[in-house]
Structure 1
Amino acid sequence: MTKSTIHPIDSPPLRTARPTPPDRRSRGPLVGLAVVVLAVIPYSTMKIAWLAGSTVGVTDAASADDMHSPAMLIGNGITLGLEVVAVCLAAALTRPIGLRLPAWLVFVIAGGATGLLAPIAAGVPTGLVAQLLTESDVHTAGMDHMSPWVFFVAYGGFCVLAVGFAVLLGEYCLTRWGDLLAAPPSPSRLTTVIGAIGLLPFAVAMLWWGLVGSGAFGPEAMTAISQRTFLVFSGLFPLLAFLAPRFGPLIRRPRLAWLAVWVGCATAVMQPVTSVLLDLGGAPSALFVAIAAATVPGAFAYGVILLRTRVRAVARAWPPSRRSRPRCGASVRASVSRWGRPTRGATCSSFRVRERRTS
């Protein structure tokens, strides 16, 4: 008689968990989708009004005329389109079809959203509280031509949107790529050098400009405490991405280590681009542009190499025969409940099957 013993990669045998009833649907994705939809409604409504010719929220006459300029119309159209993409992605992540989306598409959209929203969600509320306590005011530079409620509608919506996506992407990644998160990232020496070039200069610069001030070389018109707190978190996340594979407590918690790498690399890829393109002063310094030019490809390469290294490690644990490797998503499809949602524990996990013969 042949008996199969299943062992997960890089981890001791797991205890058998009590199976979730097939008719019980996880509410986490539905809650996340509802949060995403509620977050984009106020911001999208304001953008639609501006595209329709309204100047609601604009207090300066000259700025009201600029709202109808081609640049503003294109910018408002792009941001409104990004909101639509966010809702479409959120909806896909709650359905079984989302598990069959190309991995690169999920990584591009989710990485872009993470890089844009994570520093806002962490920095803006913290900075506003600190600014209110120290200055009894929440005024921010560059918003003089807007009513105060516009700032709260825009950035408040971004913070809520970040929470919704955190819920959705967390469960999605554990469901689809739980096996990749079973061990911490393990960079080689070359990968460490790439990460140092791509992450550390930007991290140090943003931390310095956030704590001391941007001066003549940093982002212009970022003088308020809330804005400088945003710069601090924009530098802190890439620094954590570089240190996570080497920090003992995070190594013992692989999921937290991968979370730090994901958020830090996404921030380092997206924030230099947006900071240069949306510099409120309109003329970013040569030093800032040089740091951004080194950070974007370096951070992207660092994250991709760490992920590819882990994927190869998982693949090597399988027998060489392709037939013995279950296709990604097979276990997910096999455990999809009749309500259309994967049951808890339905991951595309990699296992080694060891055959042993017993009498």
Structure 2
Amino acid sequence: MRDHLERRARRRRLLARFAVVACLPYLTLKLLWVAGADVGVKDLGSLSRGQWIAANAVTFGMDAIAALIAHVLTRPGGRHVRAWLILFPMWVATGMLVALTVTLPVSQGVIATTGAQNPAMSNDMLRPWVFGVVYGGLGAEGLVLLAAFALYADERWGGLLRTRVRDLTDPAGTQGMQRVLTGIALGFLVSSGMLHLAWGLGSDVGMNAQWIARRNAIGRTGDLVHGLAALAGAAGLHALVFRRWARVRARVPLAMAWTGAGVVFGSSGWMDMGRSPATSALLDVGNTADLIAGLLTLCVGCFALTELTADKGRTIPPSAPGSHHLAAASRPEPRPDR
């Protein structure tokens, strides 16, 4: 048993090291742009130099956080880092990286099959090789970082992840509140999912003329991925909080809710540096719905994880690496008798 756990830990550290390396091309290019170099840049167009530098500084910082998390996953003490310091940025990264790693290959397949124009080859701002460096690196980063995180989560919260949905407890009695928040989140997730599926399948409802003119295979594929992720996230969240799929291990609906809500939150436009001319009131409403759905799901997840890990911490097998640290950290303080 111990040999098996050690092999899994070695695989996790190896994958995390690959993730750090995969971040380097993107970080290097972004750093050059922030420093004022125009490597791979044709023409900024209407974008000012200040906007360009600010946008790249923000995205550089986000990927630097991903690289830092990957580094933490290589360290033996990574299991003892406060959960929220790992989980929140990984949730955001999961949403963005999953959307990217699914959308780009599928859309390129559609372009190759249909002969549609490849936006990367006709881009007026950046040279074609930039897209290969940026998105190729991000795709590789997504695959290895998410694989490393999956192993990390199993090491740290494996007992909870393998629990059947019917056996999940409500130690602090907040399930009623979780269900209220989840009900609201489900409304937003399903609405967003249906809207983006319609857009992905060719509908132009709510689009203005500029938006329609700028639509391409990548945008439509992105809408399909967004729509399916939103609906999958809604199904997983509903199963977890309302205790459906009783015999299924909690990790299945949790992965659906985690990934689906992450994709929705990451696509909500919260990090836009400026407004695209190809927009509409309906897109603004959709982005707001995505943002609210993501934040509500985040609140529900915080409540559930805090309670369930505290409850499960007492039953962690002593043979698990670092179990005595996790059990001690998650054990609730004794309450004085009343």
**Match runs of 1:109-128 below 5 Å:** 109-128=89-108
Is 1:270 matched up with 2:236? Answer: no
Structure 2: state its 5+ residue gaps. 169-174, 331-338
The answer for the alignment partner of 2:115 in structure 1 is 135
Tell me, in whole angstroms, the C-alpha distance in 1 between the residues paired with 2:92 and 2:10: 25
SS in 1 for 2:88: helix
Structure 1: state its 5+ residue gaps. 1-17, 319-324, 337-345, 351-359
SS in 2 for 1:20: helix
Query: Higher helix share goes to which structure?
Result: 2
SS in 1 for 2:52: helix
Shift of the alpha carbon at 1:160? 1.0
Shift of the alpha carbon at 1:149? 1.2
Tell me, in whole angstroms, the C-alpha distance in 1 between the residues paired with 2:318 and 2:222: 38
The answer for the alignment partner of 1:203 in structure 2 is 193
Shift of the alpha carbon at 1:91? 0.7
2:14 aligned partner, one-letter code: V
SS in 1 for 2:164: coil
Tell me, in whole angstroms, the C-alpha distance in 2 between the residues paired with 1:297 and 1:229: 23
Q: Describe the shift of the 1:327–1:107 C-alpha distance in structure 2 as closer, same or farther (beyond 3 A).
A: same
Contact persistence 2:51–2:273 (CA under 8 A): no
**Match runs of 1:83-94 below 5 Å:** 83-94=63-74
The answer for the alignment partner of 1:183 in structure 2 is 164
The answer for the alignment partner of 2:202 in structure 1 is 212
**Matched pairs, number:** 315
1:255 corresponds, among 231, 251, 254, to 251
The answer for the alignment partner of 1:225 in structure 2 is 217
Work out which of the two has the higher radius of gyration on C-alpha atoms and give 1 or 2: 1
Shift of the alpha carbon at 1:184? 3.4
Contact persistence 1:115–1:267 (CA under 8 A): yes
Deviations 1:50-82 (A, max 9, x none): 23332222233x54x95x711111111222222
Tell me, in whole angstroms, the C-alpha distance in 1 between the residues paired with 2:58 and 2:281: 27
Higher relative contact order (CA 8 A, sep 6+): 1
Q: Describe the shift of the 1:163–1:200 C-alpha distance in structure 2 as closer, same or farther (beyond 3 A).
A: same
Tell me, in whole angstroms, the C-alpha distance in 1 between the residues paired with 2:250 and 2:315: 24
Tell me, in whole angstroms, the C-alpha distance in 1 between the residues paired with 2:273 and 2:146: 26
TM-score (normalised: structure 2): 0.78
Shift of the alpha carbon at 1:273? 2.4
Tell me, in whole angstroms, the C-alpha distance in 1 between the residues paired with 2:62 and 2:257: 24
Contact persistence 1:184–1:251 (CA under 8 A): yes
The answer for the alignment partner of 1:8 in structure 2 is none
Is 1:333 matched up with 2:322? Answer: yes
TM-score (normalised: structure 1): 0.74
Identity of aligned residues (%): 24
SS in 2 for 1:272: coil
2:228 corresponds, among 233, 236, 240, to 236
Tell me, in whole angstroms, the C-alpha distance in 2 between the residues paired with 1:239 and 1:250: 20
